[in-house]
Structure 1
Amino acid sequence: MKFVEVNGIKLSRLVIGTGDIKKWGGTEMLDQFAAAGGTAIDTAHQYREAEKMIGQWLRETGNRERMVILTKGAHHDDGSPGPRVNPEAIRKDLAESLERLGTDRIDLYALHRDDPSVPVGPVIEELNRHLEAGTVRAIGASNWTYLRIKEANEYASGHGLKGFMFNSVNLSLAKANEPRWEGCVSADEATADWHKANQLPLLSWSAQAGGFFSGLFSPEDRSHAEMVRVYYSEDNWERYRRAVKLAEEKQATANRIALAFVLNRPFPSGAIVGPRSEAELNDSLQAMNMDLTREQLEWLNLEREEPEE
């Protein structure tokens, strides 16, 4: 297992996502992930049943001390209607997440969505109160643009406070045509450049583009409306073809190549994955040990015409 650090917290570079935990039919996948050395779990206040199931699993297994919990709050569609990026929603969601998870602190706490009309000051001040209280160990943003994170961190620096310590947006080999869900943010070239310059850890959700590289989709099959809307493009199909070609050379899968692309960034990165079987989990685990050259990465991303000789 390989690791990344966020504010001194060491977590596995693979983070298991639990948005579909009910579809798993239980916590067996968490058992398999932990047995493989995984230490990071992604969830959210909005994933009500997931947080409860994780909390029960932590109690039954005694795994709380070795697991890093990443949960999120202040989502627009969670509880009261409308934008909820405010101190009151943060306090409410955090308190309820702590109770569901059966823990006295959240290791990594992220705001699930942004509301660009809200000043960053009160948000950063509220998050710092929880850092000081010890109920949160690191703060981050999920689906905030890097410009808003920069603004928040500049406010924090100017007021003797701590800024965002990690970012969680979509980063994958397949580039999203449009947000997968309302308010979601995908890392573009400017975002990647900013992360490289600042070395801020990025924990990518949908790191494998919702299974785009699994072989279950094709340009001719347009039956999956969401995949068509978000990922179907000629450039992405060319990225898919190149991933398949490189996978054949490396005796791997295209999915593994796509995940390795995310894990071979010039800044600290991790990947939130949602395996549906032990085989998929094992394939993702192997991606952590796959080194890709700069030339291979550029070729996969259509930045050069020929791969490395």
Structure 2
Amino acid sequence: MNFISINGLETKVSQLIMGSDYFMPEKIDLVSEILEAYIRIGGNTIDTAHIYCGGKSEVAIGLWLKQRGKREDIVILTKGAHHDAAGPRVHAEAIRQDLLESLERLQTDYVDLYALHRDDPNVPVGPIMEALNSHIQAGRIRAIGASNWTHQRIQEANDYAARHGLTGFSFSSPNLSLAKAKEPYWEGCVSADADTCAWHTASGLPLLSWSSQARGFFTGRYRPDDLSDPDTVRVFYSEANWERLRRAEELAAKRGVTAIQIALAYVLNQPFPTAALIGPRNQAEMESCAEATQIRLTPEEIRWLEDVEA
């Protein structure tokens, strides 16, 4: 397993981060089985969120942490301040409320990585950074980040933090995948484009990608005439992405691996620190992800995979 460093953490973060958006305490045996398999491949970081399964994801992880012990060996990334039926809620009170509830569910007094799940561009960055820093100072958070924020807003927030002696964002978590999204998968989501990647290269800020394997687009089960998954069709079906799939399959055949492993390696071989959120549900999928971390792609191969005319 390869690891990256994130400012604010003494422990390095594994390049494969275990997703948990389907974890529930009712399935704690399955949760434990998956997490122990993940630990065996060398992973140490679990991604969750205040809203996942109505909070059940965090509860399940908390149960597992208590059963397993050794809290300090596991990096927890959780997210809060997601919008609700009334609209955006990226403000100090929502951050406080969600964070305290997350800590209670997780049965811990701190989270290693805390990200704002969405942005509200109508809210100035100053009060947001002040609120997050108050929780860092209280020991509830080790490092802060932004999920689904544009790089321009992250830069604005970090500039504010630098001017006011505050801790800035240490990571960003948009979608980054070899298949390029035509539109957001969910409202308010952000996918990393060429400008975003150039900014990460220049700044060195780590990127933790969700849907890093484009929700299975590179498994081979999708073809242009298969319209059975409307969301995948809506987001990823394009001539350019079909060509990227073809190229991934071609390169995979040369390397003796699979196209889905090439797609994951694409995320992990960027010229800036990256990690990929993964969602394997069995041992074979877990091992496939682990094997992908050992694939080295050259800058020329990355450009060949992605540089397709739209």
Alignment partner of 1:246 is 2:268: no
Matching residue's letter, 1:97: S
SS in 2 for 1:108: strand
Measure, in 1, the Cα distance between the counterparts of 2:173 and 2:70. 24
Moved more, 238-247 or 5-14: 5-14
Measure, in 1, the Cα distance between the counterparts of 2:307 and 2:286. 28
Alignment partner of 1:36 is 2:44: no
Shift of 1:165: 0.6
Alignment partner of 1:4 is 2:4: yes
Alignment partner of 1:213 is 2:218: yes
Measure, in 2, the Cα distance between the counterparts of 1:169 and 1:284. 20
CA deviation profile, 1:208-246 (whole Å, cap 9, x unmatched): 000000111111101110000000000000000000111
Mapping 1:11-26, distance limit 5 Å:
11-22=13-24, 25-26=30-31
Alignment partner of 1:75 is 2:75: no
Asked whether the equivalents of residues 177 and 266 of structure 2 are also in contact (C-alpha less than 8 Å), the reply is: yes
Shift of 1:8: 4.8
Asked whether the equivalents of residues 172 and 261 of structure 1 are also in contact (C-alpha less than 8 Å), the reply is: yes
Shift of 1:36: 1.7
CA deviation profile, 1:152-179 (whole Å, cap 9, x unmatched): 0111111111111100000000000000
Partner of 1:52: 59
Measure, in 2, the Cα distance between the counterparts of 1:215 and 1:50. 29
What are the ranges of 5 or more consecutive residues in structure 2 without an aligned counterpart?
none
Shift of 1:302: 2.3
SS in 2 for 1:21: coil
Matching residue's letter, 2:130: E
Shift of 1:84: 0.6
What are the ranges of 5 or more consecutive residues in structure 1 without an aligned counterpart?
305-309
Alignment partner of 1:232 is 2:232: no
Shift of 1:265: 0.5
Asked whether the equivalents of residues 182 and 235 of structure 2 are also in contact (C-alpha less than 8 Å), the reply is: yes
Measure, in 1, the Cα distance between the counterparts of 2:42 and 2:298. 26
Measure, in 2, the Cα distance between the counterparts of 1:63 and 1:291. 33
Measure, in 2, the Cα distance between the counterparts of 1:269 and 1:171. 10
Measure, in 2, the Cα distance between the counterparts of 1:115 and 1:156. 18
Partner of 1:307: none
Measure, in 1, the Cα distance between the counterparts of 2:301 and 2:100. 45
List structure 1 runs of 4+ shifted beyond 4 angstroms: 22-25
Matched residue count: 302
Asked whether the equivalents of residues 143 and 183 of structure 1 are also in contact (C-alpha less than 8 Å), the reply is: yes
Matching residue's letter, 1:40: T
Shift of 1:303: 5.7
Shift of 1:276: 2.1
Partner of 1:301: 306
Measure, in 1, the Cα distance between the counterparts of 2:67 and 2:40. 15
Measure, in 2, the Cα distance between the counterparts of 1:261 and 1:145. 21
Asked whether the equivalents of residues 45 and 73 of structure 1 are also in contact (C-alpha less than 8 Å), the reply is: yes
Quick one: structure 1 residues 303 and 295, their matched pair in 2 at CA, closer, same or farther if it must change by over 3 Å? farther
Asked whether the equivalents of residues 16 and 42 of structure 1 are also in contact (C-alpha less than 8 Å), the reply is: yes
Measure, in 1, the Cα distance between the counterparts of 2:271 and 2:78. 25
Identity %: 58
Asked whether the equivalents of residues 21 and 27 of structure 1 are also in contact (C-alpha less than 8 Å), the reply is: no
Partner of 2:202: 197
Measure, in 2, the Cα distance between the counterparts of 1:20 and 1:241. 31
Moved more, 177-186 or 24-33: 24-33
Measure, in 1, the Cα distance between the counterparts of 2:283 and 2:68. 19
Measure, in 1, the Cα distance between the counterparts of 2:216 and 2:70. 29
| TM-score after normalising by structure 2 | 0.95
Measure, in 1, the Cα distance between the counterparts of 2:86 and 2:263. 37
SS in 1 for 2:218: coil
Asked whether the equivalents of residues 244 and 308 of structure 2 are also in contact (C-alpha less than 8 Å), the reply is: no
Shift of 1:201: 0.3
Matching residue's letter, 2:173: S
Partner of 2:275: 270
Measure, in 2, the Cα distance between the counterparts of 1:46 and 1:234. 34
Shift of 1:295: 1.1
Measure, in 2, the Cα distance between the counterparts of 1:264 and 1:303. 18
| TM-score after normalising by structure 1 | 0.95
Asked whether the equivalents of residues 172 and 208 of structure 1 are also in contact (C-alpha less than 8 Å), the reply is: yes
Shift of 1:26: 3.2
Measure, in 2, the Cα distance between the counterparts of 1:94 and 1:31. 26
Measure, in 1, the Cα distance between the counterparts of 2:66 and 2:102. 15
Asked whether the equivalents of residues 141 and 167 of structure 1 are also in contact (C-alpha less than 8 Å), the reply is: yes
